[in-house]
Each structure stands twice: as C-alpha cells, then as structure tokens.
Amino acid sequence: MFEMFAVRHGQSVANEKNVIQGQTSTPLSELGLKQAAALGKRLVNVRFDAVYSSDLERAMQTARFAAPYMEPIPCVELREWNLGIFQGLTRAQVEERYPDVWKDFLNGAPDFRIPEGENSAEVHARVVGFLKRLEAEVSGGRILVVSHCGAIRSMLKYILGMTNAWPISPQVTNTAICRLLFKDGLWQLATWNDTAHLDGLMPTAGNY
C-alpha cells in the first residue's frame, strides 16, 4: 500500500491573464506564490518519501513549497496537455482565430488532435503510464505528485475505471489536494479538490 497526494500547481502568470498555456513553462503569479506557501504550511506535518513533479516551472515551484526538504523529481509524463496552436492565446483569441478547431476541442472526441499538439488519448496514456510505474515500483509510504488540471483529471478517470471519453471536467483548483490510496492492486479515492488551506486565496481565473 502507498498513499499519493496529487496536487495542482499554484496559479501561474498565464492563469492570471486567462492565457492558455498547455505545455509552455510559466512561473507562478503573486497569488500562486501565496497559494504554494499556504500549501506548504498545510503540509508541514506531512512527510513524503518521494516527490514527483511535472518539469514545467509552475509545477516545480509549487513542489518546492510543498516539500522544501526534498528536491522534486521532474517527470515529463506529468506535463499538462500540449494544446498546440492554442498555447499563448486567450480563449477569446482562440475562438476568433480557430473557431472550428475550438468547437471540435470542446466536443471532446478522444482522437481529435489540436494542430501542433496532443489528443486526449495521448495525454491519458502518458499519465496512466506514470501511475502504472508507481504501481510497479513503490512498495509503501507516501508520495507527492505535483501536476496540472488536465493530467490530474486523467488520473481520476484511470483510478475510477472510466473510459477516456472527453471532456471530463471536475474542479481541480490551484494547489488543491487530491489524496489517493493504492492497496492490493486497486486505487481508492480518499479526497478530491481539498482547498481548506486557501482561505482568501481562491483563484478567480485560470483553467488552462
């Protein structure tokens, strides 16, 4: 058995501006830094045996606040969905420049590929590959995984045995804690989107 805390990064500068970032690497905003600090305070008495993080800047920054005693292991499998031609644009700009592509994206066919990006099946496959690696290699203890909204949603689909139908959009707030247990070959969902540490620090923008 092992316990996994899956945490979304704090608000980034791109989140703050409602810019679609995908796999672009952006730092935490001022609010994001405060959220990450609050997360670290929340977890001060929780000791992790290993810390894994998406290698993108906003996630690595958050991981270092959450567990300052341990350098996070960067994992490309934990990156956000590569949103291709949408990256660096606001939603309004995407709807204006690529209305048909945006419509197809929202319709959520698993094999739909954003030009220059990934389809949802590819995102799901790499995230599931990471979880399967944990299943094979981690024999016990508690680990921290810092990732992104889309990737954490893929984790939920996998542990609940759901198909890779897209979209699935349960809330994943910046620095929210999702606690998962793996025991006897099965995953259990213990906590989803726990934001008790974010009093006065809830984001009002930034789902991309």
> Using 50, 70 and 90 to split pLDDT, how confident is the model at 98?
very high
66 inside domain = yes
Tell me the β-bridge partners of 191: 179
The answer to whether position 9 is within a domain reads yes
Q: Is residue 204 part of a domain?
A: no
User: Has residue 33 been placed in a domain?
Assistant: yes
d(CA 24, CA 50): 25
- Look up the domain containing 155 and give its range: 2-81+119-194
148 belongs to the catalytic site: no
Answer yes or no: is 52 within a domain.
yes
Per-residue model confidence (pLDDT) at position 166: 56
pLDDT of residue 113: 86
What is the H or E stretch that residue 94 is in? helix 91-97
Residue 32 sits in a domain whose CATH number is 3.40.50.1240
pTM of the prediction?
0.94
Q: In the chain, which ranges are E strands?
A: 2-8, 50-54, 73-75, 142-147, 177-183, 186-194
Q: Which of 3, 80, 118, 124 is catalytic?
A: 80
The verdict on whether 9 is a catalytic residue reads yes
| pLDDT, tens only, 121-163 | 899 999 999 999 999 999 999 999 999 999 999 999 999 888 6
User: Which residue has 């290993």 as its token pair?
Assistant: 50
Residues with Cβ within 8 Å of 180's Cβ and at least 6 positions away in sequence, in order, are 3, 4, 5, 6, 155, 159, 187, 188, 189, 190
- Supply the pLDDT for residue 28: 97
How many structural domains does the chain have? 1
pLDDT in tens, 32-75: 999 999 999 999 999 999 999 999 999 999 999 999 999 999 99
Instruction: Evaluate whether residue 32 is within a structural domain.
Output: yes
Collect all residues with Cβ–Cβ distance below 8 Å to 1 and sequence separation of at least 6.
140, 181, 182, 183, 184
The active-site residue out of 9, 16, 118, 124 is 9
Establish if 13 belongs to a structural domain.
Answer: yes
Question: Residue 190: inside a domain, yes or no?
Answer: yes
